[in-house]
Structure 1
Amino acid sequence: MKIALVGIGKIALDQHVPALRASADWDLAATVSRSGRVEGVEAFTEIGAMLEARPDIGAVSLCLPPVPRFAAAKAVLRAGRHLMLEKPPGASLSEVHALQALAREAGVTIYATWHSRMALGVAAAKRWLADKRIESGRIIWREDIRHWHPGQDWILEAGGMGVFDPGINALSILTEILPAPVHLRAATLDFPANRQAPIAARLSLSGGIEADLDFLQTGPQTWDIELVTDAGPMALRMGGNLLEIAGRPVEGQKDIMQEYPALYARMAGLVQDGRSEVDLAPMVLVADAFTMGQRAIVAPFDF
Structure 2
Amino acid sequence: MPPIKIGLVGLGKIARDQHLPALGNNPDFELVAVASRNASLEGVADFASLEAMLDGAPELDAVALCTPPTVRHAQARLVLARGKHVLLEKPPGATLSEVEDLTRQAEVAGRTLFATWHSRHAPGVAPAREWLAAREIQRVEIQWKEDVRVWHPGQEWLWEPGGMGVFDPGINALSIVTGILPNAFFLREATLFVPENRQAPIAANLAFSDAAGAPIEAEFDFLQSGPQTWDIHVDTDAGRLTLSKGGSQLFIDGRLEHEAPEQEYPSLYTRFAELIGESRSEVDVAPLRHVADAFLLGRREVVEAFVET
* TM-score for both structures, normalised by structure 2: 0.96
Shift of 1:53: 1.7
Residue 216 (structure 2) aligns with: 209
Residue 278 (structure 1) aligns with: 283
> Does residue 1:180 correspond to 2:183, yes or no?
yes
Residue 162 (structure 1) aligns with: 165
> Does residue 1:230 correspond to 2:233, yes or no?
no
d(CA) in 2 for partners of 1:93, 1:252: 34
Shift of 1:103: 0.5
d(CA) in 1 for partners of 2:135, 2:43: 50
Residue 221 (structure 1) aligns with: 228
Tell me the percent identity: 56
Q: Supply the AA of the counterpart residue of 1:40.
A: G
Q: Supply the AA of the counterpart residue of 2:305.
A: P
d(CA) in 1 for partners of 2:242, 2:100: 33
> Does residue 1:198 correspond to 2:221, yes or no?
no
Q: C-alpha deviations, 1:169-223, integer Å up to 9, x for none?
A: 0000000000111111110000000000000000001021100000000111000
Give the RMSD, CA atoms, in angstroms: 0.7
Residue 295 (structure 1) aligns with: 300
Q: C-alpha deviations, 1:53-110, integer Å up to 9, x for none?
A: 2121110000000111111111101101000000000000000011111100000000
d(CA) in 1 for partners of 2:45, 2:56: 11
Shift of 1:40: 1.1
Per the alignment, in what secondary structure is the counterpart of residue 183 of structure 1?
A: strand
Residue 38 (structure 1) aligns with: 41
d(CA) in 1 for partners of 2:42, 2:242: 41
Q: C-alpha deviations, 1:224-269, integer Å up to 9, x for none?
A: 000100101000001011000111010124x43x000000000000
d(CA) in 2 for partners of 1:71, 1:302: 31
Query: After superposition, where does 1:257-276 map in structure 2 within 5 Å?
Result: 258-276=263-281
* TM-score for both structures, normalised by structure 1: 0.98
Gaps of 5+ in 2: none
Query: After superposition, where does 1:15-30 map in structure 2 within 5 Å?
Result: 15-30=18-33
Please identify, of 226-235 and 65-74, the stretch whose mean Cα deviation from structure 2 is larger. 65-74
d(CA) in 2 for partners of 1:122, 1:108: 28
d(CA) in 2 for partners of 1:26, 1:110: 16
Q: Supply the AA of the counterpart residue of 1:241.
A: S
- Specify which of 126, 129, 137 is matched with residue 123 of structure 1: 126
Shift of 1:139: 0.2
Query: After superposition, where does 1:121-160 map in structure 2 within 5 Å?
Result: 121-160=124-163
Gaps of 5+ in 1: none
d(CA) in 2 for partners of 1:98, 1:230: 41
Residue 109 (structure 1) aligns with: 112
Q: Supply the AA of the counterpart residue of 2:225.
A: T
d(CA) in 2 for partners of 1:135, 1:225: 14
> Does residue 1:49 correspond to 2:56, yes or no?
no
Q: Supply the AA of the counterpart residue of 1:273.
A: E
d(CA) in 2 for partners of 1:224, 1:56: 43
d(CA) in 2 for partners of 1:294, 1:59: 41
Per the alignment, in what secondary structure is the counterpart of residue 171 of structure 1?
A: helix
